[in-house]
Amino acid sequence: MRKYLVYAMVIGALSGCSENSRAFDELPGKQVEKAQLLGGDPKEDGASGQSLCPDDGQTLPLTGICEGRATNYLNIVGGDVPQLPDNCHWSVNETAIVDQVLLYLAATCDGKKARLGYAGGARFSALSLAWSAVANEVLEDTILIRIGSAEPDRPYQNILFYAQDAMDDSAEAEKCLVRPAGLAGWPADALVVDVGPEEAAKAPSDEPRIACGLFGLDEDNSSYWRVFQGYSWWFQFSQDAYQDIDPRSLTLVRPDGSGGWKTVE
């Protein structure tokens, strides 16, 4: 019963909020229409396509927020800024998630900006790398982030459930717990599902340690959880020197009812 309850919470939170989530599918030429549908102000001259944001760059197509001002909406947590190649810089991009919009810092290389693509699911929603600016190619089969539910008063509860439920050995699963990751290069609020210190000490000290299954600790990859804005977010990045997305920066916004946007509490 607990399993089905959590699944239902994910579906309701990320899919049931909109009567027609397909209205937010990314279709060429529909960006301004989507911004109006979501309640934002495009702030763009439709005839010329020129930004009406002097010195603040172009407008973001979904929200209509000026690129240079979009960083004001980001809840960037502590931690190291990911490295980028010399021909790249960070700028804000956005992805529609049902009736909300996800803002994030994306690598922009030679004028092309990295972009996340959203897909709903029965257990998790997923964010894939629809365009890699660093690799200069489509990597839509590469899922970087999975989104599940979170309990407001017990934010770690569902993380532990997801990890234990994916493990085949129930006895091993009972040894798992959620703890702060505390690793350099990861977001300051990163969490991992791991075994306790006594159990961890049994592992070989000269090789990366893995614990608690698919959604648990994997010291050979940048895999961790974050909990924010009412959801559990599972990040699974490679160990490559360069990343397309700054994982510290993800922020959900929604229409404020007055033609603007506000961050989701």
Confidence (pLDDT) at 12: 47
Considering only 11-15, 29-33, 248-252, which range has the smallest mean pLDDT?
29-33
* SS3 label, residue 26: coil
Q: Using one digit for the tens of pLDDT, what is the confidence trace for 85-123?
A: 999 999 999 999 999 999 999 999 999 999 999 999 888
Confidence (pLDDT) at 17: 40
Confidence (pLDDT) at 22: 29
Q: Using one digit for the tens of pLDDT, what is the confidence trace for 46-73?
A: 444 454 787 777 899 999 999 989 999 9
Reply yes or no on whether the pLDDT at 1 is more than 70.
no
Candidates 32, 19, 70; CA nearest to 261 is: 70
Full-model pTM: 0.79
> Is the model more confident about 28 or about 76?
76
Q: Distance from first CA to last CA of the chain, Å, rounded?
A: 28
Confidence (pLDDT) at 82: 92
Q: Using one digit for the tens of pLDDT, what is the confidence trace for 167-199?
A: 999 999 999 999 999 988 899 999 999 999 999
Confidence (pLDDT) at 58: 86
